[in-house]
Chains A and B, each alone.
Chain A
Amino acid sequence: NAGVTQTPKFQVLKTGQSMTLQCAQDMNHEYMSWYRQDPGMGLRLIHYSVGAGITDQGEVPNGYNVSRSTTEDFPLRLLSAAPSQTSVYFCASSWGLAGGRRSYEQYFGPGTRLTVT
């Protein structure tokens, strides 16, 4: 298994540009989420999904959109990039209640480092 994969690894955007950060997992996990990590702030939840077609907002959702059309993929869209969105973005997944496992630990991807100028 590749686990959780993210692309791209690095990205530079200009203010106002839009882009999509890709996230995929091959573990058939039910739950997927996006976090941002900023110095001194810790990991903060942006959006999450409890299954295909189901998404919800986390702690810092403004300026971001998500959708989940398949179990495997959970892209994060920046609609109009702003310098405040400069951060490292991590995607994570977990079994949750899938298959009766009741396993809640989340597995993280390698991250996308985004700079908005």
Chain B
Amino acid sequence: EDQVTQSPEALRLQEGESSSLNCSYTVSGLRGLFWYRQDPGKGPEFLFTLYSAGEEKEKERLKATLTKKESFLHITAPKPEDSATYLCAVQPGGSNYKLTFGKGTLLTVNP
């Protein structure tokens, strides 16, 4: 059974204080790993797809990396507007569609 574990469950940072969120996964093959951002009362917003170990993607203050067992979402010099829940999901090999989500990390950035 595919499993995704995100840690920590909640993270509070001061503005400018860089940190990382972790996504550990167990999946039968890996077609892709996805990161989403979710604001309160909204649907998840797609951020990144990673396909193979060693791959990295960046967008503004966010950088996602992937190894064979986990992914990290690095947040550099965060701002209060980066506050959100960050979700990780994996797609198993052999599936074009199925996603298994983690429970998310609630990030709060204080000014």
Q: How many residues of B contact A (CB 8 A)?
A: 22
1/0 per residue, CB under 8 A from B, across A94-106: the answer is 1011000000111
The dominant DSSP class at the B interface is loop
A96→B96 CA distance, assembly (Å): 6
With most chain A CB atoms within 10 A of its CB, the pick from B44, B101, B104 is: B44
Q: Which residues of A contact B96 (CB under 8 A)?
A: 31, 50, 96-97, 104
Q: Which residues of A contact B42 (CB under 8 A)?
A: 110-111
Q: Which residues of A contact B41 (CB under 8 A)?
A: 111
Closest residue of chain A to B44 (Cβ to Cβ) is A108
The dominant DSSP class at the A interface is strand
* Distance of A71 from chain B, by nearest CB (Å): 15
Given contacts A104-B91, A105-B34, contact A40 B103 (CB under 8 A): yes
Residues of B within 8 A of A (CB): 31-32, 34, 36, 41-46, 49, 87, 89, 91, 96-99, 101-104
In addition to A45-B98, A50-B96, A105-B46, 13 A-B residue pairs with Cβ atoms within 8 Å of each other are A41-B103, A42-B103, A43-B87, A44-B101, A45-B99, A48-B97, A58-B98, A106-B46, A108-B43, A108-B44, A110-B43, A111-B41, A111-B43
Residues of A within 8 A of B (CB): 4, 31, 33, 40-45, 48, 50, 58, 90, 92, 94, 96-97, 104-111
